[in-house]
Amino acid sequence: MSTKDHLIIFDTTLRDGEQSPGASMTRDEKVRIAKALEKLKVDVIEAGFPIASPGDFEGVKAVAAVIKDSRVCGLARAMDKDIDRAGEALAGARAGRIHTFIATSPIHMEKKLGMSPDQVLEQAVHAVKRALRYTDDVEFSPEDAGRSEIDFLCRILEAVIDAGARTVNIPDTVGYNIPDQFGSLIRTLKERVVNADKAIFSVHCHNDLGLATANSLAAVRNGARQVECTINGLGERAGNAALEEIVMAVRTRQDLFDCDVGLDTTHIVPCSRLVSSITGFPVQPNKAVVGANAFAHEAGIHQDGVLKNRETYEIMRAEDVGWNANRMVLGKHSGRNALRSRLLELGVVLSSEEELNAAFSRFKDLADKKHDIYDEDLQALVSDANLDAAKERVKLVSLRVCSETGETPSADLVLMVDGAERPGTATGGGPVDATFRAIESIVASATVLKLYSVNAITSGTDAQGEVTVRLEKGGRIVNGQGADTDIVIASAKAYLNAVNKILQPLARAHPQIGDV
């Protein structure tokens, strides 16, 4: 039995990660990711900001209803209406936490809140007490702690711990801190706050200077016992500390840490893929732990070393983080039950026989084009918006592209728009460009294309291409995904998926900017 402390892993992919422009998720997508996080055995899942919109409320409620082994958390500003809404969303949770926050840096208090430090302190204490009406597990964050005055931080932390906060989280909201300085901030707070022993100290680092992981680890070495992080480092601007990096650093360097994590790390890579495919944020190949090259050895000298003894160049085992995990392969002859049970294992619950029928028919179409169907293909099958197709206003009926040496590429397509078939045609610099122009000739979305990327989901020339399209309109950003063995069709699906999102009205608040 280890005598080490337990390091709590608090995942905020579904809240801070989702605040990343274009990364918004539906309720069902949140539930799928939450189930994957539960399998990974994260301690706390921050599922959203319930007051932001009815959709956010439903997302937190749905996660709270299905997750049994992790604690489910909802974010609330230090305001009664936020806290009550969070309490309501978490009512069905087996173990729920309310995370309430208010800014404490001089610039935030003066310019954003227009409040004095005493008023901020009073509101923080009031918020913690109100949250205790709903759960005994209350976390408090002094937002922008990384730029706050230490005396005031000590004062407010002592007051909220006295009021009943069990966890006090120190956010480096704007990613301004540097590892040794952030580590000593945590140490100083733990030494100076007189009732520090009554609460867990947590950290929440943003990556604006590329230091989120380093700052979090420095904090752990100085007494933090909870780290807030996201899968793939997803998050606003440069993102949050990456869960996979924190967890594997602590695991790999047990000689340096006096605490350990309780995660089943073999689920890290599948979880990373799921988040990437749902949000459309690709993982760069050289990303630590989960990048495609993280365990690939190109240079001959490295390969030779690894073949003789893997530890010459590998500090972690690929299989320990879920690379090459056994992936059940389905094919042409697999039946509906095999599909249903594999999807269930992947956390996908089809809510009706019609949904299963639709998924099965697309599975059969795919199996006609592709011999082996992997988990990644199934993820794409259910996340490329196909399952939601019935609800979409604009759908692809047919597409024909012509691309020939020396000729201008052209696309002819038919879309179904609000139930009526509409033909469109266009030429372009390439078949994808022509297809997007043909779609625009019908929908006239007035959006700007911000990103177009193609990823092969599995290996082989029959692999499905997974396309991400990012569109912007009036400052609002959406991502669309599409997957198909034909990448022009995948591109059309992705573009339409994004257009359909832009067509939906958005009434949603950001927790750290503006009002609800």
Which residues contribute to the annotated binding site? 16, 204, 206, 240
Nearer to Zn ion, 203 or 373 (CB): 203
Nearer to ligand KIV, 17 or 96 (CB): 17
Nearer to ligand KIV, 92 or 179 (CB): 179
DSSP summary character for residue 173: T
| CA dihedral over 449, 451, 456, 458, signed as positive or negative | negative
3 state SS of 348:
coil
Contact of residue 141 among ligand KIV, Zn ion, none (CB under 5-8 Å per partner type): ligand KIV
Amino acid of residue 428: G
Instruction: Please give the distance of CA 284 from its chain centroid, rounded to a whole number.
Output: 15
Minimum distance from residue 459 beta carbon to ligand KIV (Å): 38
Size, binding site for Zn ion by CB under 5 A: 1
Contact of residue 207 among Zn ion, ligand KIV, none (CB under 5-8 Å per partner type): none
Which of 28, 38, 43, 143 contacts ligand KIV by CB under 6 A? Answer: 143
Comparing CA positions, the residue from 19, 77, 12, 89 lying closest to residue 50 is 89
Binding positions for Mn(2+):
16, 204, 206, 240
Q: Does 464 bind ligand KIV (CB under 6 A)?
A: no
Nearer to ligand KIV, 19 or 447 (CB): 19
Minimum distance from residue 430 beta carbon to Zn ion (Å): 39
Contact of residue 272 among ligand KIV, Zn ion, none (CB under 5-8 Å per partner type): none
Nearer to ligand KIV, 206 or 267 (CB): 206
Minimum distance from residue 487 beta carbon to ligand KIV (Å): 37
Between CA 414 and CA 108 the distance in angstroms is: 51
Minimum distance from residue 141 beta carbon to ligand KIV (Å): 4
Instruction: Please give the distance of CA 461 from its chain centroid, rounded to a whole number.
Output: 29
Contact of residue 409 among ligand KIV, Zn ion, none (CB under 5-8 Å per partner type): none
Contact of residue 35 among Zn ion, ligand KIV, none (CB under 5-8 Å per partner type): none
Amino acid of residue 134: Y
Which of 16, 46, 137, 484 contacts Zn ion by CB under 5 A? Answer: 16
Q: Which two tokens mark 271?
A: 């979880």
What stretch of H or E contains 503?
helix 487-503
| CA dihedral over 48, 53, 55, 58, signed as positive or negative | positive
Pick left, alpha or beta for residue 237 (phi over 0 → left; psi -120 to 50 → alpha; otherwise beta): left
Pairing status of strand 465-473 against strand 226-229: unpaired
Contact (CB, 8 A) for 119 and 150: no
DSSP summary character for residue 317: -
Q: Residue 174's CB: how many other CB atoms inside 10 A?
A: 17
207 to 149, 178, 224: CA distances (angstroms) = 21, 11, 18
Nearer to Zn ion, 103 or 438 (CB): 103
Contact of residue 77 among ligand KIV, Zn ion, none (CB under 5-8 Å per partner type): none
- x/- contact string, 193-222, with ligand KIV (CB under 6 A)? -----------x-x----------------
Minimum distance from residue 222 beta carbon to Zn ion (Å): 20
Size, binding site for ligand KIV by CB under 6 A: 10
DSSP summary character for residue 70: S
Contact (CB, 8 A) for 402 and 409: yes
3 state SS of 429:
coil
Between CA 436 and CA 158 the distance in angstroms is: 57
Between CA 117 and CA 326 the distance in angstroms is: 55
Between CA 99 and CA 286 the distance in angstroms is: 34
Between CA 392 and CA 384 the distance in angstroms is: 12
Minimum distance from residue 52 beta carbon to ligand KIV (Å): 12
Nearer to Zn ion, 507 or 513 (CB): 513
Contact of residue 257 among Zn ion, ligand KIV, none (CB under 5-8 Å per partner type): none
3 state SS of 201:
strand
- x/- contact string, 73-112, with ligand KIV (CB under 6 A)? ----------------------------x-----------
Which of 13, 70, 100, 141 contacts ligand KIV by CB under 6 A? Answer: 141
Nearer to ligand KIV, 174 or 349 (CB): 174
Q: Which residues in the 2-31 window bind ligand KIV by CB under 6 A?
A: 16
Contacting residues toward Zn ion, per CB under 5 A: 16
Residues that bind ligand KIV (CB under 6 A): 16, 101, 141, 143, 171, 173, 204, 206, 511-512
